[in-house]
Amino acid sequence: MNRFVIADPELCIGCNTCVAGCTAVHKKQGLQVQPRLTVMKVGNKTAPMMCRQCEDAPCARVCPVNAIAHGKDAIELNESLCIGCKLCGLVCPFGSITPSGSKPINTPPLLQHPIPEEQLRDVPGSDPGTHPYLAWNAGLRTVAVKCDLCAFQSEGPECVRVCPTSAIQLVDNDLLSQYNREKRLETLLSSSQVPDFVVYQEGEE
């Protein structure tokens, strides 16, 4: 099972600390500064939406250059391989991949062809409010951005670390097993029927 990050809307206060933290740590790593999560509001509830690291990963299946691939317990995106086709974002069921216009890290010199500033002034671009999937600007290369679980730092996902209300959790096999045990126990205790058996703990007679 892939690990993923999830947020509890009952605990989230919509402060955007997770967004700021995400941007800061990726900028420090030389990666795209576009945050990997977006705080959504429905009614009076808020919660950040981010990549769920899907097991079948439709984004990885449609990527024509294998810039998105199955890694260790996560779906990994290589910014330097991305060609900005935006197919991954179009098939993402959670809308968790965002095109970000700038320069990727470790771009081979062969692919670096900056347009002179004087030429850029004469080239029209998209309006500032244009949706990222429709936006285009000369001189900028579009790169897909998705949650990478902050694999580059030992502390784990920055959003989990900085959330002031502990609304965000990293879900792995151990946590899922714990949730399943709690759910089964809750179901048993809330049952209206008294079971015909007695559960003995190990060592009891």
Contact 149, 5 (CB under 8 A): yes
The answer to which of 61-70, 138-147, 165-174 has the lowest mean pLDDT is 138-147
C-alpha to C-alpha distance for 94 and 76, rounded to whole angstroms? 16
pLDDT value of residue 195? 54
pLDDT value of residue 200? 52
Contact 31, 79 (CB under 8 A): yes
Whether 38 has a pLDDT exceeding 80, the answer reads yes
Query: What is the Cβ-side half-sphere exposure of residue 124, based on CA atoms within 13 angstroms?
Result: 2
Q: Helices then strands (H, E): number in the chain?
A: 6, 8
Q: What is the pLDDT of residues 66-87, one digit of tens each?
A: 999 998 889 999 988 998 899 9
Where does the pLDDT of residue 185 fall: very low under 50, low under 70, confident under 90, or very high at 90 and above? Answer: confident
Cα-atom radius of gyration of the chain, to the nearest Å? 22
Whether 53 has a pLDDT exceeding 70, the answer reads yes
> What's the whole-model pTM score?
0.71
CA 203-199-196 angle, to 5 degrees, is 145
Give the DSSP H/E element, type plus range, for residue 19: helix 17-28
C-alpha to C-alpha distance for 159 and 34, rounded to whole angstroms? 14
C-alpha to C-alpha distance for 19 and 38, rounded to whole angstroms? 7
C-alpha to C-alpha distance for 111 and 205, rounded to whole angstroms? 74
Where does the pLDDT of residue 26 fall: very low under 50, low under 70, confident under 90, or very high at 90 and above? Answer: very high
